[in-house]
Amino acid sequence: MKSIRLITLLICLLFLIACFPFSLFKADTSEILVTEISTENSIDGESTPLTPDDVTELQPVSQDDFGESARVHLEVLAGEIGDRLAGTGNETRAAEYIKSQFEAFGYTAETQWFTAYDDYEGVSFDSSNIIAVKHGRSDKQIIVGAHYDSVNDDGSQGADDNASGVAVMLETAERVFDEETPYTIVFVAFGAEEVGLWGSANYVDELNQSEQKNIIGMVNLDSLIAGDKAYVYGNEGRGSMRDWVLENAKQKGIRIEGKTDEDLYYEDGTPCECSDFDAFEKAYIPYVFFEATNWDLSSDGMVQVNPQYGVNGEIRHTEFDTIEYIDETFPGRIEDHLNTFVTLLFDLVTLY
């Protein structure tokens, strides 16, 4: 009787194996396949811009803490060093700090010296650009720049203009050091911007024609923490960095508004010589310019906040350009803006 039961069990087992060969033992690889497809963007030779559909699929990095390191750099540049008038010891201290941070991240930092001239004071002086290079899959370059000098107006720390831009650049440089980037990223802290855009002009002047053509775009960071809204300016059109930033921000739910390069023109129709993108634009190098202000309050974007604050709504170039004033008047704004701009810049240099 036992032998009959055993034979019956064996027959049933053989029947199951014949009908369902290995199906019960196969691993589910669908998740692995999806992961491989969604992260694949292999590029041979030169890198190519991603399409908007690629943006959200290639985000392996949590960005909740973006801006925290930038806040530390902001505290040092604006809080500890303070105003950084071009040609002064404080401008030099700021340059030394920036260089030390690049080197601490693992970069080889270069100092590019130049002579600047202050038309208002009628004096010439030495200043410098601090440069660090992150090599990418392509030798084509994206320049990321922010000026580190400031004005010296009745107690201004130059927190918004422009310790904020340098702080965002430094945190991004640290974060991308071990990342694979499509393009080579050149981080440049420009000196002597406030007295005539000397640092950026000198940087472009030092490039030969071939080196200029090797640059696919320049990213300018200036005045990022005081204004009501985040903006990105620049050349528009399919494949432009400006439009890529806007699409990426839209997919991530980040609030930022766009303006074209022509929106920055003076009333007479000439380009705005108002920040470090100017020298690159004159060399026909595409650019994007990140800024925080409020274009709803003035036709030129100079009024950053409600006119009851600062000096008729302007924070930069006033005594109110301090960390303390911005924190007390607009609680949480510094952290929010730093997170926004570090996130957008990190995505741009790692995914564009």
| Tens place of pLDDT per residue across the chain (352 aa) | 444 454 455 555 555 445 444 333 333 433 323 333 233 333 333 334 444 344 434 444 568 899 999 999 999 999 999 999 999 999 999 999 999 999 999 999 999 999 999 888 889 999 999 999 999 999 999 999 999 999 987 789 999 999 999 999 999 999 999 999 999 999 999 999 999 999 999 999 999 999 999 999 999 999 999 999 999 999 888 889 999 999 999 999 999 999 987 777 766 656 666 789 999 999 999 999 999 999 999 988 999 999 999 999 999 999 999 999 999 999 999 999 999 999 999 999 999 9
Give me the helix-helix angle, 333-351 and 241-252, nearest 10°.
120
Residue 269 has a pLDDT of 59
Give the helix ranges, DSSP H, for 149-237. Answer: 164-176, 198-205, 209-213
| pLDDT at residue 154 in the model | 78
Q: What is the pLDDT at residue 20?
A: 45
Which pLDDT score is estimated for 261?
77
Q: Is residue 58 part of a domain?
A: yes
pLDDT at 188: 99
**Is residue 208 a part of any domain in this protein?**
yes
Rounded to 5 degrees, φ, ψ at 325 are -65, -45
In a domain, 217, yes or no: yes
**How confident is the model at residue 274, as a pLDDT?**
74
State the burial class of residue 71 (Cβ atoms within 10 Å of its Cβ: 0-12, 13-18, 19+): middle
Length of the chain: 352
Task: Assess if residue 49 is contained within a domain.
Answer: no
Q: Give just the sign of the alpha carbon dihedral 119, 121, 123, 124.
A: negative
* pTM, two decimal places: 0.82
Tell me how many domains the chain contains: 1
**Token pair belonging to 78:** 């604006």
Query: Residue 268: its pLDDT value, please?
Result: 64
Domain range enclosing 173 = 54-351
Q: Is residue 88 part of a domain?
A: yes
- Ranges of beta strands (E only) in the chain are 109-118, 123-134, 141-147, 184-190, 215-221, 229-234, 257-260, 287-293
Residues near 102 by Cβ (< 8 Å), separated by ≥ 6?
Answer: 109, 130, 132, 170, 173, 187
Is the residue at 23 inside a domain? no
Domain assignment present for 273: yes
- Residue 311's CATH number: 3.40.630.10
- Asked whether residue 5 is assigned to any structural domain, the reply reads no
Instruction: Give the model's pLDDT for residue 60.
Output: 46
Interatomic CA distance for residues 90 and 77, integer angstroms: 9
Question: Which residues neighbour 281 within 8 Å (Cβ) at sequence distance 6 or greater?
Answer: 261, 271, 287
